[in-house]
């Protein structure tokens, strides 16, 4: 979702590009279908890394991408977001003296228990060009000693994809009239059986007031099965969804309950009330300006905030500057300057 608009913008400027899919996300509904929906050609390279511990996955990406980089000798490697693949590719590039551009740089949760925070910190120290989505990203990078000439605030490339595909999403039918949409996948919420059971019970309580639609991440599905939890109590559990279908659900939702960074951003753009089951967020602009409310680990607060939204008092917020569907064009303009 982040790479597609940048690939398109660079192609429009005549750039020669190679797309490397690390295979870190390998579920068909969470990977293959995205290429079709986003109008992307198949990857030129698929490293087929698959799952594993953080160390094993990072090491596999590093070993497999090194061969491609040595063979292809790129002028610049663009890495996206904050997954293990992002940091692994940046680290290999820095060892090979290949320039790195980080798209979605500067985001910080200030919580180093999150693996993604480590990935963000390391990648931004190694990157040669840093593309930030919002003003707080610039400030974080300057505070960490990143030279100002490396920092380029371009806006949010994920919103480019949302804007492009929203018309298709708005044509989809079959959604309930009123519902809460749920996504959960972070270890802090799903790896502890007791924590997951408490969240599930809270969702069932909310389900007494409004239907709860829950597309379940494969990781979360496994944890639910291990703990004997399934449909019922106002909850409708679905499999992972293609992007356009999920976007349609977000657009029409009465409230979204999530622990996803990307969903916090998308609901802010859509101005749909969002309740985030985390104590911190690397996207504070979604709270200070957007429709996001951090409820932390307090499930009583989750239920209270959900009731507030259902009574028509939900937070709508505004849309941050440069979240306008043209961020990728700004990235491409910087890249092609060299």
CA–CA dist 176, 84 (Å, integer): 36
CA–CA dist 4, 33 (Å, integer): 13
Q: Which of 227, 185, 235, 226 is nearest to 205 (CA)?
A: 235
24: helix, strand or coil: coil
Alpha carbon distances (Å) from 183 to 44, 260, 261, 283: 31, 7, 11, 17
78: helix, strand or coil: strand
Strand partners, 212: 180, 235
271: helix, strand or coil: coil
Q: Which two tokens stand for residue 83?
A: 């997954």
Alpha carbon distances (Å) from 135 to 32, 167, 173, 323: 33, 29, 37, 12
Q: Which two tokens stand for residue 7?
A: 């690939």
Instruction: Work out the number of other CB atoms within 10 angstroms of the CB of residue 147.
Output: 10
Q: Which of 237, 217, 219 is nearest to 229 (CA)?
A: 237
Q: Which residues are known to be catalytic? A: 185
Strands (E) across the chain are located at 20-21, 45-46, 76-80, 99-103, 129-132, 151-153, 179-183, 211-215, 235-238, 255-258, 274-276, 292-294
191: helix, strand or coil: coil
Q: Which two tokens stand for residue 148?
A: 């100002």
DSSP single-letter state for residue 129: E
């Amino acid at each position: 979702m982040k790479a597609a608009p940048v690939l398109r913008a660079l192609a429009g400027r005549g750039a020669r590009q190679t797309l490397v899919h690390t295979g870190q996300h390998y579920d068909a509904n969470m990977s293959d279908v995205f290429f079709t929906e986003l109008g992307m050609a198949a990857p030129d390279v698929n490293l087929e890394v698959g799952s594993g511990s953080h160390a094993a996955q990072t090491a596999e990406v590093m070993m497999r991408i090194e061969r491609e980089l040595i063979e292809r000798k790129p002028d610049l490697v663009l890495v996206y977001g904050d997954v293990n693949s992002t940091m692994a590719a940046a680290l290999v590039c820095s060892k090979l003296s290949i320039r790195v551009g980080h798209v979605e740089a500067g985001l910080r949760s200030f919580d180093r228990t999150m693996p993604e925070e480590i990935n963000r910190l390391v990648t931004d120290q190694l990157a040669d060009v840093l593309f930030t989505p919002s003003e707080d990203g610039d400030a974080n990078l300057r505070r960490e000693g990143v030279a100002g000439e490396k920092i380029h605030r371009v806006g949010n490339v994920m919103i480019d994809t949302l804007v492009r595909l929203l018309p298709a999403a708005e044509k989809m039918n079959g959604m309930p009239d009123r519902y809460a949409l749920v996504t959960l996948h972070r270890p802090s919420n799903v790896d502890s059986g007791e924590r997951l059971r408490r969240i599930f019970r809270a969702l069932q309580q909310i389900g007494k007031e409004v239907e709860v639609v829950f597309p379940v991440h494969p990781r979360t599905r496994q944890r639910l099965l291990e703990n004997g939890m399934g449909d019922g109590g106002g909850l409708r559990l679905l499999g992972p969804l293609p992007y356009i279908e999920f976007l349609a659900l977000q657009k029409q939702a009465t409230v979204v309950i999530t622990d996803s960074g990307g969903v916090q951003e998308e609901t802010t753009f859509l101005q749909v009330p969002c309740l985030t089951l985390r104590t911190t967020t690397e996207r504070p602009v979604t709270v200070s300006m957007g429709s996001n409310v951090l409820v932390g680990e307090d499930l009583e607060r989750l239920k209270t905030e959900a009731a507030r939204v259902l009574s028509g008092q939900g937070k709508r917020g505004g849309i941050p500057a440069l979240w306008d569907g043209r961020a990728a064009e700004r990235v491409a303009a910087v890249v092609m300057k060299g």
